A and B are shown apart, each in its own frame.
Chain A
Amino acid sequence: MLLRNRFAGKRLIAQTAALILSLSFSLLILSACGTEATNSSASYTPVNYLAGDTPNLLPTVVPTPLDNTPANGQTIDVYSSLPLTGSSQNESQPVVNAINMALDDLAGPNHTVAGFKIVYQSLDDATAAAGQWDANQEKINANKATSDPNAMVYIGTINSGAAKISIPILNQAHMVMISPANTYPGLTKSVEGVTAAGEPQSYYPTSPHNYFRLIATDDLQGPADVQFAANNLKAHSAYVIDDGQDYGKGLADAFAQQAPKNNIKIVGRSSITGQEATYQDLANKIKTAEPEMIFFGGIAQQQPGKLLADIRAAGVSVPFMGGDGLTDQTFQRESAVAGEGAYASISGVAVDKLPAKGQSFVQRYDAKYGAGSYSKSGPYTIYGYEAMAVALSAIEQAKQPNRLAILNAVAATKNFNGVLGNWSFDSNGDTTLTTFTIYQVVGDNYQFVTEVKPNTGS
């Protein structure tokens, strides 16, 4: 009896200890993992990225070149089509710089991969007359690439509207297209209330699907922005404005659609053309609606800075937020003093949260183009590097100057360990990286606020 009791007591103690240990371990695991919808706030000093502040980055990592077998006489052309004329030039030229850096890093000094000489050709899809990307010019660029028998890869575009032009042309030629910047969802998927009827099938007259992008789409950016508005700005109502263009309207639609699911009521919706002399009437309309925040979907060249100045002059002080279109310095300079405190979201993580390869790229970019150049270069620079890296990796895998083979190699990209981190293309051709970073205008700079990983569940 006593023996039985002694053993029973020991068993009880052991069971209790095991329970305590397992609970502690579980708590440890949970605290480390976090939740699916994460709003992680930074605990470090904000960095003035546009002032050229250099955050404390990891030591430089020398990139590992691909198969640099000497050229066998065959050439593979890689084209890019980006707006290099007009106000977008400031964010497009750095993308070209980054593409060239990737070519230098991964294809060696002779620019060879798997025995093929890689020739990079930069095309401009903007015209002086238009001052921005031009549909006809984009069509010319796509046709030029497809008519070049050595052309295997097309990197571009910056503007989603331009991609609508070139995807079908390249699709019929089975040429892969990798975009560092397009965010309009309809190019790869159908999103209710956001994309147009027939999208994305209308862009792919033949199979296989030839379009891939490295940046998260607006149907994710909108919910990310809504989460920030609800959790950080504590807003319960919003006035939504778009610039009438594909990107801006798509982002605004995504925000407006997600907002009610986070208890944010849309109290007004307007569209601007970017050519208005003043926005006083709209500002007074917003004032009457009494929103708790204002969301703008659009690019900086469509005068959101002037819009914000009129909104503030009308006495509306609520937070103003937009997507990556507001990260252009054009917005900062036109909003001037009224732009203080405005928020902008960008796909991807902050520089000092990039993996070692990414931080190394940033440091080498600054070393090559001047201190602080990367931070002033716009949001798509690192994606340009990654686009060329993916293209060269696919060429290495295909080992043949065959468009379909290279396209299939790009489509099979899984667990790519690049400057953006470890990521894959999903079945739509979209990236699996879906973190967004929120910045705030402070003085003449953008300061990091937080990261948001959107939870698109209702």
Chain B
Amino acid sequence: MMPNKTALPANSVAKSQVLDPTKSPPPNSGPSRPNLTTSGPNATPPAPAANNLLAALPRTKRGSWRWQTAVFCWLVLVVSLAGLLASLYVVSDRVQTFQEIEQVAVPSINAANQAEQSLSAEVSANASYILSDANTRQTLLTQIERDRADFESALETGYSSLASANTANPSVAAASDYLNQHNQALQDAFALARGQADNNDQKSATTTYLKGRDTYYNPIIYTIYYLRSIYINQLNQAKDAASSANILQLVLVILIVIATVGLLLLVSLWLTLKIKRVFVPLVNIGFLIAAGYAIFLVVSLVNSSGNLNRVVSAYSQTSLLSDSQRILTDAASDQTQWLIAKSGGVNGFDIYAQDFKTQTGHLLVVPSNPSDGQCPSSNAGRASYQPTGEMGDVCRSLLSDNQVDAWNNFYNAYTAWLQADTQFRSTANGNATNATTNALAFLNSSNVTQSFSNMSSNLNQLKTANTQIYANNSNDALNQLNLATILTWAVYPIVLILGIAGLLRWRREF
């Protein structure tokens, strides 16, 4: 017997009674459905027009598109702001480095170099004073007073610039006290020596001058050297810091500009795909502006690194040249000191002849074949230049080919001066009654003074060239970086406006 089929409950719907959407639903069949009609409150809206893309799209796609637009707008805003801040940071950091060099390091180094040269010139003039006649002494006294004033002025400038170097040990104050104490003692000794010379007490004048010079001069010079080294060191540290930061900053800038330009490119492509247009005016313009700015910024930063290296090299070389001038002056002083000690019967006067050789060795060691000492004209040649000494270092680090002539002119005058020194010694050691007078006259002769003058002139020429290199590179870098700053303030807001406006504008396109 087959089981009875269970009858359907009263409210159930038979399979044959599945709802036909074109027909009214059966009673009690569930929630009612809207009755789609073409008029009345429940009328079905008409089919969308062909160009009403938004209305024609399904709700989900329409929401996604709007969401993407909003996201791109926010991205453009965020990237523009980030780009603005990052670019300003990098550029201002680089500008600050150059400004600190210009406002602090350069004046300090200049002041130290000036003080060094003024003092060495003053010492040399005092040495000449001992041996000179009354007329010449008056001229020398004027020179001494001028050198003294220059020295005091340079120190004052140096101290004010060094006030910020409060972490130095010994402190700037301690160095200042030390320098003043020895400077005063040196001045007292020189004043006493000049007075004794005026009273024709040559022996006492010689002893007083030599003792003062030997005891106090080097401590002053090397205290100035110490103070200058603080700032040269900071100059090199700034260069090293900039070099190490350069890579990071450059990467940061490149990432930011890639993000900005890339985002605008992405927006352009996205819009092109969506609205089927190749050219999206506002966004494309924004992209071109951003791309142009990015290239300019990267080039500016790379150039500024090169400028910074040349700035530091140029100023380090001015210190080498200043030391060279001081050594040259000291060597010339040694000639006079040797003569006054020898003529004054001072024991151990040969020490000044030896110091002359020590100083000239520090200045530049002339090869046995003097022509081998010329500074080569090529970079490669200069890099392998052998002779030692301060001027040897200068040759090896010359920054431009037109400085080579000045260096070689210095060298020619230097070798002539050394040859004249040999003649000077033999004159002083001669048996003539007026050997000392003759030797002094030889020292003051036009040949010897002209050689010395030529050397000083060429050193000044090299210093001027380096100062010009520094100024050119510093100005170039600052000009470019300042322009980068202005462009940064202008470009990113423009990019922001163009990007967002371009994104929103498409809605009115259709």
Contact = CB atoms under 8 A, between A and B. Distances in A.
Interface in A276-333: 277-278, 280, 283-284, 305-306, 309-310, 312-315, 317, 332-333
B147 interface: no
B292 interface: no
| Contact-size category for B | 35 or more
A312 B348 contact: no
B323 A277 contact: yes
Nearest to A281: B236
Contacts of B215: 333
B219 A336 contact: yes
Interface stretch (B93-101, B129-137, B223-231, B439-447): B223-231
Contacts of A216: none
B169 A315 contact: yes
Contacts of B353: 128
A317 B169 CA distance: 7
Interface in B148-195: 167-170, 174-175, 178-179
A335 B320 CA distance: 19
A275 B365 CA distance: 11
Contact of B222 (A86, A129, A335): A335
A312 B222 contact: no
Nearest to B219: A336
Contact of A336 (B169, B178, B230, B348): B178
B357 interface: yes
A304 B219 CA distance: 14
Interface in B355-391: 355, 357-358, 361-362, 388-390
A131 interface: yes
Contacts of A128: 350, 353-354, 357
B178 A280 contact: no
Contacts of B426: none
A305 B222 contact: yes
A337 B226 contact: yes
A336 B229 contact: no
A310 B231 CA distance: 11
B225 A280 contact: no
Contact of B362 (A275, A284, A305, A337): A275
A85 interface: yes
A333 B219 contact: yes
A154 to B, nearest CB: 24
B229 A278 contact: yes
B44 interface: no
A336 B223 CA distance: 6
Interface string A190-221: 00000000000000000000000000000000
Given A335-B222, A336-B223, A315 B348 contact: no
Contacts of B225: 306, 309, 336
Query: Which of A86, A93, A128, A309 gathers most chain B CB within 10 Å?
Result: A309
A129 B357 contact: yes
Given A275-B362, A317-B169, A336 B354 contact: no
A315 B393 CA distance: 25
A38 interface: no
A340 interface: yes
Given A85-B354, A89-B351, A338 B232 contact: no
B350 A131 contact: no
A85 B229 CA distance: 32
Contact of B389 (A275, A335, A444): A275
B167 to A, nearest CB: 7
A444 B222 CA distance: 14
B451 to A, nearest CB: 22
B222 A333 contact: yes
Contacts of B178: 336-337
A332 B219 CA distance: 8
B361 A283 contact: no
Contacts of A280: 229, 232-233, 236
B247 to A, nearest CB: 19
B218 interface: yes
Nearest to A314: B233
Given A87-B351, A336-B218, A284 B233 contact: yes
Nearest to A330: B218
A40 B348 CA distance: 39
A334 interface: yes
Nearest to B394: A277
Nearest to B365: A275
A337 B179 contact: yes
Interface in B319-337: 320, 323
B357 A131 contact: yes
B159 to A, nearest CB: 14
Contacts of A332: 219
B222 A315 contact: no
Nearest to A86: B354
Nearest to B169: A317
A338 B170 contact: yes
27 contacts: A87-B355, A128-B350, A128-B354, A128-B357, A275-B361, A275-B362, A275-B388, A275-B389, A277-B393, A278-B232, A280-B232, A309-B225, A309-B226, A310-B233, A312-B169, A313-B226, A313-B229, A313-B233, A314-B233, A315-B167, A315-B169, A337-B170, A337-B175, A337-B178, A337-B179, A338-B223, A338-B226
Given A283-B233, A336-B221, 12 more contacts: A85-B354, A128-B357, A277-B323, A277-B389, A309-B226, A313-B168, A313-B226, A315-B169, A315-B233, A334-B218, A335-B222, A336-B226
Closest 6 A/B residue pairs (Cβ): A313-B229, A336-B222, A333-B218, A337-B178, A336-B223, A309-B226
